[in-house]
Amino acid sequence: MTDTAPLIWGLVFGSIGIGYFVYGRRQDHIVARYAGLTLILFPYAVSDSLLMVVIGVSLMLLPRFVRL
């Protein structure tokens, strides 16, 4: 049997990452742009569901607390 949780979490974080990337590009917000790009790409490297959720939520909160 295959575990579908990483696939679903990858889809969720990838979709949110696209939104962050587009927002960062249009508003010229460099942290949001790179956080979005990382949200799109990191599910390819992480296969553990819990680790994926922790990294994804951290990346989603990053633009809120880091200003450049």
pLDDT digits (tens, 9 = 90+) for 35-52: 999 999 999 999 899 999
Render pLDDT for 3-30 as a digit per residue (tens, 0 to 9).
899 999 999 999 999 999 999 999 999 9
For the chain, what are the domain ranges? 5-65
The contacts of residue 45 (CB under 8 Å, 6+ apart) are: none
pTM: 0.88
- The arithmetic mean of pLDDT across residues 52-58, rounded, is 96
Q: Give residue 1's pLDDT.
A: 54
With 90 as the cut, is the pLDDT of residue 68 above it?
Answer: no
pLDDT at residue number 67 = 80
Q: Which helix (H) or strand (E) holds 24?
A: helix 5-27
For the record, the structure tokens of 46 come out as: 């992480």
Cα-to-chain-centroid distance, residue 41:
8
